[in-house]
Structure 1
Amino acid sequence: MDHFDRKICEILQTDARRSSTDVAAQVGLSVSATNDRIRRLQKQGIITGWQARLAPAPFAAATCAFVLLDLRYEGEAEAIAALSAHDAVQELHHISGPHSYLMKLRLADTAALQRFLSEVVKPLPAVTRTESIIALDTAKETLAIAVPTEEQEDG
């Protein structure tokens, strides 16, 4: 990736609805060269998708909770597949430390969290323990990746 690709990534990550003309003008390339680079970035798997970010509250997802999961090795793959299939599960990370996984959920309220834990999580045979953390407020939430400059990558 050169500095043009990095700049394109920065621009599109901030606002994917930008027109090709606007992106091209900002990076100093022609529209066709910019479009070629965007297609290549997609083909290489650097740009992985295009999506709108929605406010959670209008969709009964105002409560953000993090659940630390302890799992037995036997049945772990099935548990992860089952949890990953639920829309309320936004993230599921295999982590180091005393717990096996960290799961981020978006649900309507704490009652919905309780139901999800009781009906979905705890019945899974591999689950041995859960610990829930409810976010009271969100100061920052982003999917943006810091795009390093060429100098930062080289040095």
Structure 2
Amino acid sequence: MDKFDRAILDILQTDCTRSVADIAERIGLGSTACWRRIQKLEEAGIIDRRVALLNPQRLNVSVSVFAAIRTNQHNAAWLEQFHAAVGELPEVVECYRMAGDTDYMLRIVVADIAGYDAVYKQLISIPGISDVSSSFAMEQIKFTTGLPLQYASFGG
């Protein structure tokens, strides 16, 4: 990976709808060379997928809730059951297994507190969950889907 790959990734993270010709012109490569690089980045799994970012306010899911989950269950069967249950909840847009006092952290998007209460009731119905602590986001200070590229290995 080199400076051209990094430039391509930087542009695509900002707007993946740009044409190959536009990207090529911006970074000083020919269209064919740029297209080949994009293909290689996709084949290598560096470009995972291209998606549209939707506006949560326009879709009436502007309330973000962070739910800290605790459990005493850590066996493989329970983990599989928990992962499946969380996967079935469309309001859960992120789920992380944590180190420390919290076992899992979920980011949940809903329209209002009543919407979260419905999700909360589904969460506490999962056997083995001992605690769900919720925090509501008051203001989104920063949101990006772009990853920092300075840590990637770039050769000559």
Deviations 1:39-70 (A, max 9, x none): 11111110011111111022221100100001
Is the CA contact (8 Å cut-off) linking 2:3 and 2:154 kept in structure 1?
Answer: no
Unaligned runs of 5+ in 1: none
TM-score, scaled to structure 2: 0.91
What amino acid maps onto 1:42 in structure 2? E
Is the CA contact (8 Å cut-off) linking 1:6 and 1:149 kept in structure 2?
Answer: no
Distance in 1 separating the partners of 2:151 and 2:11: 14
Which residue of the partner structure matches residue 68 of structure 1? 68
What amino acid maps onto 2:74 in structure 1? Y
RMSD between aligned residues: 1.7
How big is the shift at 1:85?
2.5
Deviations 1:9-48 (A, max 9, x none): 0010011111111100111111011111111111111001
Is the CA contact (8 Å cut-off) linking 1:68 and 1:132 kept in structure 2?
Answer: yes
Which residue of the partner structure matches residue 139 of structure 1? 141
Distance in 2 separating the partners of 1:110 and 1:153: 46
Distance in 2 separating the partners of 1:44 and 1:126: 39
1:96 to 99, 104, 113: 99
Unaligned runs of 5+ in 2: none
State, as a whole percentage, how many aligned pairs show the same letter: 28
Which residue of the partner structure matches residue 18 of structure 2? 18
Residue pairs, 1:1-155, within 5 angstroms: 1-71=1-71, 72-74=73-75, 75-118=78-121, 120-148=122-150
How big is the shift at 1:153?
6.6
Could you list the runs of 4 or more consecutive aligned residues of structure 1 that deviate by over 3 angstroms after TM superposition?
A: none
Distance in 2 separating the partners of 1:114 and 1:100: 21
TM-score, scaled to structure 1: 0.92
